[in-house]
Amino acid sequence: MKRVIALVSVLGILIGLTLVLSGCKSEAKSYPSKSISIVYHSSAGSGGDIFLRNLGKALEKQLKQPIVIENRPGGGGATAWGYVAKAKPDGYTLLGISSTIITGPLQTPMDVNYKSFKPIAQVFYDPTVIFTSSKSEFRSFKEIIEYAKAHPKEMKWGAGSPGSAESLTLKYIMNQVGAEIQVVPFEGGGDVAVEVMAGRLAAGIGEYAEIAHLVRSGDLKILVGLGSERIPGLPDVPTLKEEGVDFVFEKVRGLMAPKDTPDYVVQKLVDAIKKVYDDAEFKKYYTESNIIPLFRGPEELSKVLDQQNEFFKSMIGK
């Protein structure tokens, strides 16, 4: 009798496992069955917003569902991050990230940080640049720095919110060159560009994607790029290293999800992202914006974020 009961129990467990696995396979096959929201911490018109809207259009073709971009600026990123961290981990609320997911929580106490989320993929790295108005008297990075050093705290430069990678990076660069400026924070790089063109700011720092159209139109000019190499399509723009500052910063662009999101959802999204690079419209966007395509899966993205976390920690400590 005991043997019969044991066999029945084992059989019941096996049937239960079969039903669970069958349900998982069914859910995996049907995902996504409705629209997906991608939440971002910056305002419309920022480099990250532009990136996500173009990525969303390309992903719609792969996933056969609408992709909605939700801008939730505020709190140096905490508003968007907190919202996604508390969202249902079902793959229908995702987080668009930049390196600010690292720098924000390092500078401002928050309930969330990059470890609060599950990595999906890095899609690009975004060239960061220092720019000014095309009408500016300054023709090079060296010229504007010489002026800033000769006139401490006179110049106003625009950057992202206080916890952003751009704001922190700009302060670090100024420390390296021995210049003192006023850093004016904005929620998005598009706002910085407007103020620079109006002459209310001497210069700004931001992603090239945010201002590429204004450079092409002749309204803005780039003084220097922060990458390890010159930006493709901009051969005359020197790197910061070439200008004598031993510093490189390459901004991550990618997606994460609420921490308990199922692996099958992440894999479905990874597979879709791998295919978007060949999409004609998406390729046109990243080629014209001079964003560098760079796919990294969940494990690789996690390592990169860990490295940037250690890097910015050391910067904040200086």
Q: Could you give phi then psi for residue 86, rounded to 5 degrees?
A: -95, -5
Identity of the amino acid at 221:
K
**Chain-centre distance for alpha carbon 145:** 28
CB 157 within 8 A of CB 201: yes
Of 162 and 132, the structure prediction assigns the larger pLDDT to 132
pLDDT at 160 over 70: yes
- CA terminus-to-terminus distance, the chain: 73
What is the CATH T-level fold of the domain 127-225, as seen in this structure? D-Maltodextrin-Binding Protein; domain 2 (3.40.190)
Q: How far apart are CA 289 and CA 210, in angstroms?
A: 8
How is the chain split into domains, by residue range? Answer: 33-126+251-316, 127-225
Q: Is this prediction's pTM over 0.95?
A: no
pLDDT per residue as tens digits for the range 18-67:
554 445 556 678 999 999 999 999 889 887 899 999 999 999 999 999 99
Q: How far apart are CA 184 and CA 158, in angstroms?
A: 5
258 C-beta neighbours (distance < 10 Å), count: 20
Crossing angle between the packed helical segments 100-107 and 78-85, to the nearest 10 degrees: 100
Residue corresponding to tokens 């479905």:
268
Which residues are paired to 250 by β-bridges? Answer: 127
Query: Concatenated DSSP letters for 129-141?
Result: EEEEETT-S--SH
How distant, in Å, are the alpha carbons of 85, 159, 222, 226 from that of 103? 17, 14, 24, 17
Helices within the chain (DSSP H only) = 2-30, 47-63, 78-85, 100-107, 141-150, 165-177, 189-197, 208-216, 263-276, 280-288, 298-316
Cis peptide before 32 (omega within 30 of 0): yes
Mean pLDDT calculated for residue range 59-83: 96
Q: Does 33-126+251-316 match 127-225 in CATH topology?
A: yes
Instruction: Give the integer Cα–Cα distance in Å for 36 and 94.
Output: 8
Give me the CATH topology for the region 33-126+251-316.
D-Maltodextrin-Binding Protein; domain 2 (3.40.190)
pLDDT for 86-121, tens place per residue?
Answer: 999 999 999 999 988 998 898 888 999 999 999 999
pLDDT, tens digit, for every residue of 268-308?
A: 999 999 999 999 999 999 888 778 899 999 999 999 999 89
pLDDT at site 5: 54
Q: What angle do CA 36, 40, 44 make, to 5 degrees?
A: 105
Torsion of CA 72, 214, 157, 43, to 10 degrees: 0
What is the pairing mode between strands 117-133 and 203-207?
antiparallel
Give the mean pLDDT of the chain: 90
